Amino acid sequence: MAQMYVDKMGIWGESEPGWRKSSLRQHKVWRPPTDVYETEGAVVVKVEIAGMAREDLTVSLEGRKLTIRGMRRDSAGKLGYQQMEIQYGYFETEVLVPRAIEEEGVEATYQEGFLSVRLPKAPARRVPVIDAEESV
């Protein structure tokens, strides 16, 4: 199955991979809080990543594995922190989508600090049952 990427809220194919895995391995990578839930017609993955720019987000779907990567930049720079709890730098979260989806309808939106990826459910497929004598 072809790999899809969503960046700047657009989708493109394998020829433009966005983030390279090798560049992520050189940095400490953190995992943002991630929720996965189902609605009547879709699986929704919601990631809490406030303070991001859309161009710093990459969403890829390969088979049933959804990967969200990006980088949150620290605008304050190198200061003498008294307390530091907010994570900056490269992040990544991976989700195994729990059911078949329709890749063509995947949508990603970033609003009020949350990235939501909506993956429409594929309709159930009927499998015909044949008589065992007919299959010989």
State pLDDT tens for residues 97-125: 999 999 999 999 999 999 999 999 999 88
Confidence of residue 132 (pLDDT cuts 50, 70, 90): confident
The answer to whether position 83 is within a domain reads yes
Cβ–Cβ < 8 Å for 82, 62: no
Instruction: Reply yes or no on whether the pLDDT at 26 is more than 50.
Output: yes
The answer to whether position 77 is within a domain reads yes
- Whole-Å CA distances, 59 to 14, 84, 85, 86: 12, 28, 25, 22
CA–CA distance, 29 with 24 (Å, rounded to integer): 7
The answer to whether position 41 is within a domain reads yes
Confidence of residue 136 (pLDDT cuts 50, 70, 90): low
The answer to whether position 78 is within a domain reads yes
Domain holding 10, by residue range, is 4-120
The answer to whether position 108 is within a domain reads yes
Backbone angles phi, psi at 88, to 5 degrees: -125, 170
The answer to whether position 29 is within a domain reads yes
The answer to whether position 125 is within a domain reads no
CATH number, domain of 15, equals 2.60.40.790
Q: How many domains does the chain have?
A: 1
Cβ–Cβ < 8 Å for 115, 36: no
The answer to whether position 127 is within a domain reads no
Whether this prediction's pTM lies above 0.75 is answered by no
What is the side-by-side strand order in the sheet with 65-72? Answer: 10-12, 4-7, 57-62, 65-72, 89-96
Confidence of residue 20 (pLDDT cuts 50, 70, 90): very low
126-133 contact pairs (CB < 8 A, 24+): none
Nearest 5°: the CA angle 112, 118, 121 is 160
CA–CA distance, 113 with 76 (Å, rounded to integer): 19
